[in-house]
Amino acid sequence: MDLDKLRETAAEVAAREDVKYLIGWKKGSYGYRVAPGFVEEAEGAAGLIFSPLCTANLATYLTLVEKLPLPRGQEPDKRKVALMVKGCDSRAVAQLLVEKGIHRDEVVVIGCPCPGMVDPDLLGEKYPETEEPAEVKWSDDGFIIVRDGEETAVPRDELLAEKCRLCRYPNPVISDIMLGDPVDTWDPAEDEGVSEVEDKDVDGRWAYWQEQFSNCIRCYSCRNVCPLCYCQDCILDRLNPTWVNRSVNFSENTAFNIARAFHLAGRCIECGECERVCPANIPLGKLNRKLAREVRDKYGFEPGLDPEAEPFQASFKPDDPEDFIL
């Protein structure tokens, strides 16, 4: 992607009178890190980047910002938020529109066609992170790692993130402005991670998730990073009545993780952020993709593709073949 073009466009958008701020990606504080960048003035756009390290799905910030009571006499700031999105991120925006979590006139969507991200853990294992800034770029057939002024070419398959190997929508599904040309889509890989768990028997699956959920520390980073986990009043925070105890053990952790997965069924857009941020390395992607697979196979439905679609679990057809509904 042409970074000059990206920054120029971002500067124009950030300068618009009807735009509050723009959220993009910027170089992080060290090593490979990339941080979300909030740009209020045109000048701030100069620090924005788009690289195979821009894994963060920024759509979560659309609903994360607290709505604080305004001082008397002050008008709410109704300007738009501009957001840079990859293909998967754009599906979160589309799904939020479906659910009316946001309204179309509240956002300016800047689409970034995405050739695929690197897996930060794989990258760190093979090419250890340094304190000095490092970067990763796309090449024609893979990635180029730039560390200490040295470039290392790495084949795409070696570092491509799992969610990107499975990706069916690398190009943004909605946008107001598209940066560059769409990328060529690729054949999504078989989701072996989900299949492997599916192939286990019940006891095997139970044992597998027992081990995983026992590691959960209940930091809720998966919930907070998720663009589609935005309930104002989450059942996990509720203490009156208490749905999930706050004590951290396998039973409560399982209740939490399953509750979250169920609430995302037919809504998860498979951006993989939950798994990326989990400090306990729980393979949450497998859990959420399993439900996404069920919804896709059984109902032929994929969330976050059409902002005009009916929400999957909240729509009813009079000619529904199942008679239990009426």
Partner 1 sequence: MSAMLLKKEKWPDFVGKLTGKKVWAPQGEGEEMRFAPVNEGEAPDLAYGNTRVPPKQAVFPQTETMFRFQVDGKEIEEPQLDQETVLLGVRPCDARSMAIVDKLFGWDENDPYYFKRRELVTLVGLACSEPGINCFCTSVGGGPAATEGLDLLMTDLGEDYLLEAVTEKGELLLKEAGDILEEAGDDRYKEKEKLAQAAAQKIKRSVDHEGIPEGLPGLWEDPLWQRVSASCLGCGTCTFLCPTCHCFDIQDEVEGFAARRCRMWDSCMFNEYSLHTSGHNPRPSRRERTRNRINHKYSYYVDKFDVIACVGCGRCINLCPVNIDIVEILRQVKEAL
Partner 2 sequence: MKTNDNPYIPYHATVEDTWFETGGERAIKTFKVVFDDEEVRKNWSHRPGQCAMIGVLGVGESMISISCSPTEGEFLRFSVMKMGKVTQALHQLEAGDKMTVRGPYGNSFPLDEWEGKHVLTIGGGIGQAPMRPVVEYVKANYDQYGGLTMIYGARTSGDLCFKKEFEDMAQDDELSCHLTIDIEEEQWDHNVGFVPQILLDVNPSPENTIAVTCGPPIMIRFVLENLKKLGFEDDQIYTTLENRMKCGIGKCGRCNAGNMYVCKDGPVFSYAELKEISEAFA
Distance set, CA 100 to CA 97, 199, 235, 259, 309 (Å):
5, 37, 20, 22, 11
Q: Which residue number, 233 or 319, has a Cβ lying nearer to partner 2?
A: 233
CA atoms lying within 13 Å on the CB side of residue 43: 0
Q: For partner 2, what does the binding mask look like between residues 229 and 258, x meaning CB under 8 A?
A: ----------xxx-----------------
Please identify which residue in 4, 17, 68, 300 interacts with partner 1, judged by CB under 8 A: 68
Distance set, CA 161 to CA 27, 122, 188, 236, 255 (Å):
19, 8, 12, 30, 28
Q: Which two tokens stand for residue 134?
A: 């490092």
- According to the binding rule CB under 8 A, does residue 64 interact with partner 1? yes
Choices 1-9, 23-31, 89-97, 108-116; region in contact with partner 1 by CB under 8 A: 23-31
Query: Which residues touch 230 (CB under 8 Å, ≥6 apart)?
Result: 60, 63, 64, 96, 101
Q: For partner 1, what does the binding mask look like between residues 269 and 288, x meaning CB under 8 A?
A: ----x--xx-xxx-------
- According to the binding rule CB under 8 A, does residue 133 interact with partner 1? no
Q: Which residue number, 232 or 240, has a Cβ lying nearer to partner 2?
A: 240
Interaction partner, residue 74 (partner 1, partner 2, none; CB < 5-8 Å by kind):
none
CA distance 282 to 275: 7
The continuous run of DSSP H or E covering 139 comes out as strand 135-139
- According to the binding rule CB under 8 A, does residue 70 interact with partner 2? no
CA distance 296 to 302: 6
Minimum distance of partner 1 from residue 90's CB (angstroms): 20
CA distance 170 to 88: 7
Question: Which one, of 4, 9, 24, lies nearest residue 178 by Cα?
Answer: 9
Q: Which residue number, 64 or 239, has a Cβ lying nearer to partner 2?
A: 239
CA distance 50 to 61: 18
Q: Total residues contacting partner 1 (rule CB under 8 A)? A: 41
Binding residues (CB under 8 A) for partner 1: these are 28-31, 33-36, 38, 56, 60-61, 64, 66, 68, 129-131, 215, 217-221, 223-225, 237, 239, 242, 245-249, 273, 276-277, 279-281
Binding residues (CB under 8 A) for partner 2: these are 239-241
